[in-house]
Amino acid sequence: MALLRWLIVFVLITLACSAVHAQTSADTGEVAVDTPVVKPRPRFTGPLPFLDSVARASALREQFVSDSLAKRYISAPDPNRPNAFVDSILKANAYKNDLFLNLSTKASMKQGYGRNRPSRDIWVVGVIMVLLLFAAGLNIASTKDVSNVFQSFYHRKAAGPAGKEESPINAWTFIGLFILFGLTSGMFLYLLTTGYYKVYYTISGVQLFLTLSIVIIALFAVKFLVLKFLGFVFDISKLVDDYIATLSLTYFNITFVFLPVAVCFSLIADAFIPLLLIITLALVIIIFVWQYLRSSVSIITNFRFHKFYLFVYLCALEICPILILIKALNIGFR
């Protein structure tokens, strides 16, 4: 009986709890629904379709560009941050005040940051070597004539009408020295404009050098022809011949100044070029002044004319062409 009584009480309590739970669910409006369990979709590991691969590649590219721009313009690295790679190289190879006794004879490493050293064109050195050999050939072929060119600067008797029998140099030597003068002057102007003043033209290199040389040869040839024509018109051919001889010997002496200057110009550092130009300018002025003073005294003594004509000539055919050449080459003095 007692067991039956306890069984009835358990059943009543169970029914009461079920009724209370049902009443609570009805009051909240919730309905108990069984939710099915969804299994995760397996990840696709095969090749993507073509359009999907293109879209994925474009997205990765945009992300790469965005990260690169952010690193360059937004998150720039700290300039004071030590460079471990450079520090390790300097620590392993830097000079330690041991007279370099720890360096291997087979080492070919170049340490340090350094800087670029400006180098000149190889063809410049080659052309200068050819000019030196050409001058040496003229000296061997016409030793006496070349010696008279040098002596004409010191001895007035050594000067005479060029290209004639009484001339200190014969016609072939005159032509060779005139060509040497044009090529040497062209090389000097090329190195001066492009190497020192850094002037750039529409042409460059060997073409610019040959153009300058041809222009110089043509200008001075025309100048000599104009002087011969003036001598014929005014019937002073003998005086003009003496003056042309003086001019040619002056130019040939300047040639042997420009030749070593061109050699130095192509080999020395840029820091020494201003001193070289000062020495060159001083030598050229000395040669011109000495030769012109001597020739002017000879002309004034042997031929009486107004000094204004001499001044006009010097301005028209001597000073003005040089100024025009400087302006045409766009050379600015520092």
Is 206 a domain residue?
yes
pLDDT per position as a tens digit, 156-167: 555 554 444 455
For helices 237-267 and 122-141, the axis angle rounded to 10 degrees is: 140
Q: Sorting pLDDT into bands at 50, 70 and 90, what band is 213?
A: very high
For tokens 């560009």, name the residue: 65
Instruction: Tell me whether residue 201 is in a domain.
Output: yes
- Report pLDDT for 162: 45
The boundaries of the domain holding residue 210 are: 122-305
CA 111 to chain centre: 25
* pLDDT exceeds cutoff 50 at 326: yes
Q: What is the pLDDT of residue 247?
A: 83
Sign of torsion, CA 303 308 312 318? positive
Q: Which of 72-81, 211-220, 323-332 has the lowest mean pLDDT?
A: 72-81
- Which DSSP string corresponds to 215-280? HHHHHHHHHHHHHHHHHHHTT-HHHHHHHHHHHHHHHHHHHHHHHHHHHHHHHS-GGGHHHHHHHH
Q: Output 159 or 268, whichever has higher pLDDT.
A: 268
Q: Where are the alpha helices (DSSP H) in the chain?
A: 2-28, 50-69, 84-93, 122-141, 143-151, 171-190, 206-233, 237-267, 273-302, 307-313, 320-329
Structure-model confidence comparison of residues 150 and 104, the more confident one:
150
- Looking at the domain assignment, is residue 70 inside a domain? no
CA distance 147 to 168: 9
Tell me if residue 117 falls in helix, strand or coil: coil
* 152 in any annotated domain: yes
Neighbours of 242 (CB within 10 A): 20
pLDDT grade, residue 185 (50/70/90)?
Answer: very high
Spatial separation of the C-alpha atoms in residues 102 and 229, rounded to whole Å: 77
For residue 45, is it within any domain? no
Tokens representing residue 71 in the block: 């690193």
In a domain, 211, yes or no: yes
pTM exceeding the 0.75 threshold for the entire prediction: no
In a domain, 200, yes or no: yes
Quote the number of domains for the chain. 1
pLDDT of amino acid 236: 78
Distances in whole angstroms, Cα of residue 310 to Cα of each of 240, 249, 259, 263, 296: 13, 20, 31, 36, 9
Percent of the chain with pLDDT over 70: 61
In a domain, 132, yes or no: yes
- Which of the residue ranges 81-95, 123-137, 219-233 would you say has the lowest mean pLDDT? 81-95
Interval 11-33: pLDDT, tens: 667 666 665 554 544 444 444 44
Least confident window among 172-176, 287-291, 311-315: 311-315
